[in-house]
Amino acid sequence: MKVAVVGGGWAGIATAVSLVDAGHEVVVFEMAPQLGGRARSVAGRPDYDNGQHILIGAYRDSLALMRRLGVDPDLVLQRLPLALPYPGEPGLRLPPGAPLVAFTRGVLGHAGWPLRARLGLLAAAGGWLLRGFRCDAGLSVAALCAALPHEVKRDLIEPLCVAALNTPAPQASARVFLRVLKDALFSGAGSADLLLPKRPLSDLLAGPAAAWLGPRLRLGQRVQRLEPGWRVHGDKGSEAFDAVVLACTSVEAARLAADIAPAWSATAQGLGFEPIVTVYLHSTGSALPSPMLALREGPDAPAQFAFDQGALGGAPGRFAFVVSGAAPWVARGDCGEAVLAQALRELRWATPPVIDKVLTEKRATFACTPGLRRPPAFIAPGLWAAGDYVDGPYPATLEGAVRAGRAAAQGVAGANPATSGSPTSSPRA
């Protein structure tokens, strides 16, 4: 089949690579001048990423996709055992080994928490395990963890929740959170490991994908309209296809599918968003005690994590401070200054840090709330969606995007002939 992929983020790349591997003819339309979507280096400034990204060992499909494109994850990612050190405190750290044993040893050995807090977390985790990490779809993370000791919520649950779901615990889906915990903490040695980029983000996937896809790419071409059948109308003319995968943002997918599948489009249109602000600070000669440091957010402390880019193979003296679930700070408008003040208060510096760059992604991820209805991958015969927002077990993550891309490619290629884009079900225009 000849398939159009609309959007060249990680979902679109995964879709295109899977389709090419299955023997299909593929054209990728990407409106930006480069691939990568939200997970890319900043255009014209490849030494800055469009926000600090973290992968974890459980991102099986993302790591496989990198390898497929000739990228060795060990060369581009720094693998560290899961640890949440705070300034001046070693924090929770998991020793290597079988997941259950490592988690139990890590929690019991966390001297920063009183014994009752450690036992409280182990008892709660045991309960989640017994229930298969499933819970009512309407439950929030705050409600799920209400009975946990204060220290556990403050130092583990709340930072993990906002980092993984980009949604504060009171508004975040407990079901999705439990799924992330299950895959990270309890599914094979190394799945909880943090994988921190030690190369610019575009070197992880977008750059190698551009080289791999070559002439199949139409960069700088926004798809304006779809005509059932399928004809794709772009900035520079129109072209006929057997099937289309919308791997663009949910907002654009809703627009393009509005007349074709109004109910699907309304569900996609209904998603809310959460911002992320990344504040890059510079301080010559300074270093953090570890490449990644957790911070306690508060009324005057926006950032939950800080990254030492010099320790990760990037520019020495540059630090990325991440503010997830950043809506209140975007509204206040002084996030950069507040992060600088927080950094000065909480960390030691060789020279006074200054603000290098503040990147605000207002629609960084969908808001991962309890009971959220997410649109499915199938839109109409021959028309599929791929993207981190498509219905699935994961929050908006690279892995969610890649898995959605692979699933859409399988759908197109006829896993279900009744709904696939085979020429008989949807003749070429």
The footprint of ligand FAD (CB under 6 A) covers 6-12, 29-32, 37-39, 51, 53-54, 222-223, 247-249, 252, 276, 278, 361, 364-365, 387-388, 396-398, 401
What CA–CA distance (Å, rounded) separates 175 from 422?
35
User: Whole-number minimum distance, CB 285 to ligand FAD, in Å?
Assistant: 27
What CA–CA distance (Å, rounded) separates 125 from 147?
12
**Cβ proximity to ligand FAD, 178 vs 245, nearer residue:** 245
Residue 251: burial class (beta carbons within 10 Å; 0-12, 13-18, 19+): middle
**Cβ proximity to ligand FAD, 83 vs 398, nearer residue:** 398
What CA–CA distance (Å, rounded) separates 277 from 427?
45
**Cβ proximity to ligand FAD, 39 vs 117, nearer residue:** 39
**Terminal CA-to-CA distance of the chain, rounded, Å?**
13
Q: Which residue is nearest to ligand FAD (CB)?
A: 37
Strand intervals (E) in 304-412 = 305-308, 318-323, 354-366, 378-380, 383-385
CA distances from residue 191 to 58, 182, 195, 261, 307 in whole angstroms, order as listed: 4, 10, 10, 38, 21
| CB neighbours of residue 109 within 10 Å | 13
**Cβ proximity to ligand FAD, 178 vs 359, nearer residue:** 359
**Cβ proximity to ligand FAD, 348 vs 362, nearer residue:** 362
Within 112-238, residue ranges assigned H as helices are: 115-130, 141-144, 150-152, 158-165, 174-185, 201-204, 206-213
| CB neighbours of residue 319 within 10 Å | 28
Rg (CA), the chain: 22
Indicate the SS3 state at residue 392: coil
* Four-residue CA torsion sign, 139, 145, 150, 155: negative
**Cβ proximity to ligand FAD, 10 vs 128, nearer residue:** 10
User: Whole-number minimum distance, CB 364 to ligand FAD, in Å?
Assistant: 4
**Cβ proximity to ligand FAD, 169 vs 209, nearer residue:** 209
Within 166-224, residue ranges assigned H as helices are: 174-185, 201-204, 206-213
User: Whole-number minimum distance, CB 45 to ligand FAD, in Å?
Assistant: 15
